[in-house]
A and B are shown apart, each in its own frame.
Chain A
Amino acid sequence: MRIRRDKTLLMMTVPSIALLLVFNYAPLFGLATAFQDYDPLIGVWHSQWVGFDQFRQLFHDPQFWDSLKNTIYLSFVQLILFFPIPIVLALLLNTVLSMRVRNFIQSVVYLPHFFSWVLTITIFQQMLGGAGLLNQYLRSHDMSTWDIMTNPHTFALLVTGQAVWKEAGWGIIVFLAALAGINSELYEAAAADGAGRWRRMWHITLPGMRGVIVLMLVLRLGNALSVGFEQFLVQRDAVGHSSADVLDTFSFYYGITTNNYSYGAAAGLFKSVISLLLIWGANKLAHAFGEDGLYRK
């Protein structure tokens, strides 16, 4: 019997599976609260079922529409301004011949990925905030100051800047891997045929990265509704909730901090369903491009 033979292997997976069952699968049943008027004192078994009431209320809530709008807008700005940067950086870094210089640059640009959002935002605060380095300089040169950190109108650019600072360096890893996977004989052959630097990039490098680029794009689209939860949570008070609330923070503030659990759960469920549809749709798009996407056809 295979089950007998593999019992040690099965035993080894038990702790992980148990933790996932408790903290990932059990909450799936907790989604039932979205269809209830959940009362924490009597629990999910005895709370009253209210059908789609929470959703009806949600769809009449201007705050909810604001946060949905913010989510889509912020996600769009990040997609346009963030996505190309790691690709360009990877292309640039790939042309650096000296391994020592390359390794040094890589070690430095990976570093911010390991900083927490609190730390990243504190660093931005110190550099660009009201009392930060930029304004310190402006003041000492008798120029008018400029508080970027609390301006709701430029918030989208600010958070994109933070995301680029923190994650763009880390993002180059996959593209570097894709670049390393391109057969160098192709370049040699192209050069022998008289193709210059830019032609080689266009006809060999970019097609070689195409699969990874499409895959990253699919993942990005699938996560479109999950733009920087912790990042916004930290900065929400400074710029005001009307421009900093996204679906995740909405679900936190109107669900947990006000004990209105069912309402928050309904907002969360709405987000999950749309996200799944987005992943599915983005994947279909990838297939249309002739790429694998997340899974094959």
Chain B
Amino acid sequence: MTNTLTISPTRAGAAAQARHSRAGSARPPWEEQPTVVGRTVKGLTLTGVVAVVLVPIWIILVTSFSTPGAINRAGGLVIWPDGLTVEPYREMLSDPTVRTSLLVSLGITLIGTAVSMAVSVMCAYGLSRPRSFAHRFLLLLLIVTMFVNGGLIPTFLVVTDLGGYGKYWALILPSAVSVFNILVLRAFYSETSGELIDAARLDGAGDWRILWSVVLPTSRAVTAVVALFYAVGYWNAFFNVMLYMPTDSQKWPLQYVLLTYVNRGVGLPGSVNAGFGSVHAQTAPLSLQMAVVVLTLVPLLIVYPFVQKHFRTGVLTGAIKG
């Protein structure tokens, strides 16, 4: 239910030919020079937009590395680095709940993404060959689920009936297949040149071999982006924790720790007199709370730069075309 950029996959040819216009950075000769006012307004607006995203992240980052003295001097959140220390991180990571939750989050993200990718790549290739048996029917079976679903409670009942309550698989399998992601992959696999595939087939390659050695290597960008979508979905999920393991803090992923200890203001482990989950425990120092926030951000900020360049190279325009 996360990260679906809602574009209809059934609509053909919506925005074709994304490449040829305005690619260069030169102003075409027929276009007039911008006015001073126009240029200023544009510059200020865009700077403002960028600042609105980056400034809060900066402040949280700086506060998480600040000494208690610096936080007192600032009266709360620290804007300019004053007294910096890694002590909040050391203290936070010495707490078993936070440490376990970090491992749980990483585990769910890695395993979940691997499962999702394996299943989706196979399915997308299986449906991408022209005129294969029943592919229209199977495609319909997929797309229907985007518009019609049982909803929250029936899904909850199915998962608990299968014994998912309190189990990690309940956080992975129900959301393992994203039809949107499969359609994105399929749109690209369909474009792999037929001659290349025919040549591989003449050389004796079967479908598994073609998928692995021809199709996957020629669509690395889209694979990376879809993997990011899945990984972010697993990393960010917290609602299903609320559904399937709300009381067992030893199984919580990081987002749920963030929700409980930072957002709800329940005492963070590591603070003075903090009993786990005890509502009356004193709230943790700000730097410690911000360190938890930063921890949820770090993996994303590490992976993001490597993947985001592919957003522009037409992955999503391809999705619209599909």
Contacts and interface: CB of A to CB of B under 8 A. Distances in A.
A137 B135 CA distance: 61
A111 B238 contact: no
Given A23-B174, A212-B14, A110 B308 contact: yes
Nearest to B129: A9
Most chain B CB inside 10 Å of its own CB: which residue of A116, A122, A196: A116
A133 B296 contact: no
Interface stretch (A59-67, A68-76, A152-160, A266-274): A266-274
A16 B133 contact: no
A272 B148 contact: yes
Given A16-B122, A181-B18, A196-B32, A219 B150 contact: no
Contacts of A5: 133
Interface stretch (B23-31, B84-92, B274-282): B23-31
Contacts of B162: 22
Given A118-B258, A177-B317, A211-B14, A13 B138 contact: yes
B262 interface: yes
B204 interface: no
B21 A184 contact: yes
Interface of A is mostly: helix
Contacts of A212: 14-15
B170 to A, nearest CB: 10
B243 interface: yes
Given A118-B255, A177-B317, A9 B132 contact: yes
Contacts of A136: 74-77
Contacts of B262: 122
A6 B133 contact: yes
Interface in A132-176: 132-133, 136, 139-140, 165, 169-170, 173-174
Given A17-B141, A219-B8, A292-B11, A116 B238 contact: yes
B272 interface: no
A207 interface: no
B259 interface: yes
B67 interface: no
B30 A191 contact: yes
A146 to B, nearest CB: 15
6 shortest interchain CB distances as A-B pairs = A27-B150, A30-B154, A116-B236, A268-B151, A12-B126, A16-B123
